[in-house]
Amino acid sequence: MSNPGPDGIPKVDGPRVWDVIKILGRHLWPKNEMALRTRVVIALVLLVVAKVTNVYVPILYKGAVDALGTPAAQAVAVPIALIVAYGVARVAAQAFGEIRDAVFAPVAQRAIRNLALEVFGHLHALSLRFHLERQTGGISRVIERGTQGMDFLIRFTTFNILPTLFEIVLVGAILWSLYDWRFSVVTLVVVGVYIVFSIVFSEWRIKFVRSMNEADTEANAKAIDSLLNFETVKYFGNEAHEARRYDVGRRRYEDAAIRSSRTLSLLNIGQGAIISVGLVAVMGMAGQGVIAGTMTIGDFVAVNAFLIQLYMPLNMLGFAYREIRNALVNMEKMFGLLDVPAEIADKPGAPPLAVAGAEIVFDHVDFCYEPSRPILHDVSFRVAPGHTVAIVGSSGAGKSTISRILFRFYDVSAGHVRIDGQDIRDVQQASLRAAIGVVPQDTVLFNDTIYYNICYGRPNCTREQVEEAARLARIHDFIMALPLGYDTTVGERGLKLSGGEKQRVAIARTILKNPRILLFDEATSALDTRTEQEIQRSLEEVSRGRTTVIIAHRLSTIVNADEIVVLDRGRVAERGRHGELLARNGLYADMWRRQQEAAAEAERRVEEAASLRGEGHLRVAD
């Protein structure tokens, strides 16, 4: 098992080769994809034909050289024919290879696409806890490098390493059959030394590649975090501070990259030296054979051609191995992502939620984010079908935790949460969430058009339905007054819109979703009084006839709720209607008085400010 790193992604001890092989096999030989499997077979046949043709080229070359050295060469026909055949064979070997790549390309790209989709889908299946702890920039780099690594693995493993090994065996057999066995032995020994040297040296230097990746991920995460908080950086004038934080990761990357580059140069020099020693040894043996009369000049040239032809892909094999090791390192984190279990998962065979009246029941619910941090204690309440229940309490009382539990971002520690008698842990999450519409306090929009953000509530809806939802949310007229109308881009996280405008977009897309249950999580607490009142009217219209839970901070927004549940340090302290709770003169009544006093004080200050402005105008007039 792997241990979680500081970014929430499990660390693994090293590249898991068998896992990679299994993934390669699964994606390169996909189930129920006969067309792709046929392409794999055709590509393998073309691979063999290309390599056999490639190995035959030096034999034709030898024939042409020997023919030119005989009296028959005066007739020209024999050497010309062999030279033409030599040229055709070289072109054919390349052509078979290119056709092979073209045939296999859809298989490789489909595999890469499916792998990226698998990781993306798994990320969305993970719990809210994981995403609250993640670093968005780091995660994006992990996925980017991991898919690139898979691309490299597929291409080089399938059409570089395996073909090169096949060609080595083929050349060794030809040298043995055409010449002395010593040629094969020396060639294979050199190849063995080359491979062992490459593996050992690459394993040693892989730590530098890991350091590069870690530094790159760290720097990218800090950059994304800084840019997402652009306004905060400006508020405090901390551009230089952010640059220094970013430069820490870049400096680490620079140091690791320099060490990696230097060790790569040493590796290349060592590989070149081994190949040169092998080439000199075999060519020396061939030269002695020519002097002894046991070999012709054509044989000498053919041996050289065989070795050059072999060492070129062998050199590529060394490069491929280095890059594959790098790719495996890049994939370590991505494998770590796939290893993260989904904290909240559907039970096997779980049925969809069957919603009738949409009654909600919290039955003796306990919850804690961590054992040392209990949040809710024995919380029980009921929301009757079509009724509205408000949850209020001081900061940290557990109000927003109620909404997260209802939406099943977390499972309860004890007790039950039921909708129409069905425990939400026993039904499919997708059906549960389809039945609930949420208007959060902090509405975050996609960096797309207003139309897209409203349409997100039901992606397959018509434009008429989008506009009708916008009218019900009282934002249609505002949108139509914009130069681009519904095609207006809202910016990163919707920052081009005001708080009230974003909330209306959130209400519109919730209307479009048309859920049976509505959840308002302090949907107006961050707005000014006038905007809050306007949006409150919209929320009341939307929630009419629907089961509604309101997480509220401002008590003035929930005076008409059918029941108000007051939480105090995670426990239900009071419950009842607004008038009943005021009459008890308890915790709710105290919260109400303090908010009314704060509102009166704010109004008094506004009037004083207006009065001062008026006096200032009079003095100017005097």
Q: How far apart are alpha carbons 108 and 151 in whole angstroms? A: 7
Q: Band of the pLDDT at 383, cuts 50, 70, 90?
A: very high
CATH architecture of 353-435+515-585: 3-Layer(aba) Sandwich (3.40)
The pair of three-digit structure tokens given for residue 8, joined into one six-digit string: 């929430």
Q: What is the mean pLDDT of residues 150-174?
A: 72
Q: What is the pLDDT of residue 74?
A: 46
Q: How far apart are alpha carbons 204 and 165 in whole angstroms? A: 23
Same fold, 3-339 and 353-435+515-585: no
Q: What is the pLDDT of residue 158?
A: 67
Q: Band of the pLDDT at 575, cuts 50, 70, 90?
A: very high
Q: Band of the pLDDT at 620, cuts 50, 70, 90?
A: very low
Q: What is the mean pLDDT of residues 370-389?
A: 89
Q: How far apart are alpha carbons 489 and 449 in whole angstroms? A: 4
Per-residue pLDDT at 68 exceeds 90:
no
Q: What is the pLDDT of residue 582?
A: 92
Q: What angle do CA 256, 338, 448 make, to 5 degrees?
A: 85
Q: What is the mean pLDDT of residues 7-27?
A: 57
Per-residue pLDDT at 186 exceeds 90:
no
Please say whether the beta carbons of 58 and 309 come within 8 A. Answer: yes
Could you report the per-residue pLDDT of 323-370, keeping only the tens digit for each?
777 677 667 667 777 777 777 888 899 999 999 889 999 999 999 888
Q: How far apart are alpha carbons 214 and 249 in whole angstroms? A: 9
Name the least confident of 2-16, 492-506, 544-558. 2-16
Q: What CATH number is given for 3-339 in this structure? A: 1.20.1560.10
Q: What is the pLDDT of residue 419?
A: 94
Q: What is the pLDDT of residue 66?
A: 64
Rounded to two decimals, the pTM is 0.63
Please say whether the beta carbons of 57 and 90 come within 8 A. Answer: yes
Which helix H or strand E contains 9, and what residues bound it? none
Q: What is the pLDDT of residue 207?
A: 77
Q: How far apart are alpha carbons 282 and 65 in whole angstroms? A: 19
The DSSP annotation for 194-225 comes to HHHHHHHHHHHHHHHHHHHHHHHHHHHHHHHH
Q: How far apart are alpha carbons 490 and 449 in whole angstroms? A: 6
Q: What is the pLDDT of residue 621?
A: 46
Q: What is the pLDDT of residue 136?
A: 56
Q: Band of the pLDDT at 589, cuts 50, 70, 90?
A: very high
Q: How far apart are alpha carbons 164 and 310 in whole angstroms? A: 8
Q: Where is pLDDT greater, at 141 or 47? A: 47
Helix ranges restricted to H, 423-498: 429-434, 450-455, 463-472, 476-481
Q: What is the pLDDT of residue 72?
A: 53
Q: Band of the pLDDT at 382, cuts 50, 70, 90?
A: very high
- Percent of the chain at pLDDT above 90? 13
Q: Band of the pLDDT at 441, cuts 50, 70, 90?
A: confident
Please say whether the beta carbons of 279 and 239 come within 8 A. Answer: no
Which phi-psi region, left, alpha or beta, contains residue 3 (left: φ > 0; alpha: ψ -120 to 50)?
Answer: beta
Mean pLDDT taken over the chain? 78
Q: What is the pLDDT of residue 618?
A: 45
Per-residue pLDDT at 592 exceeds 80:
yes
CATH architecture of 441-513: 3-Layer(aba) Sandwich (3.40)
Q: How far is CA 218 from the centre of its chain?
A: 16
Taking the domains of the chain in order of start, what are their residue ranges? 3-339, 353-435+515-585, 441-513
Identity of the highest mean pLDDT range in 177-186, 257-266, 320-329? 257-266
Q: What is the pLDDT of residue 622?
A: 46
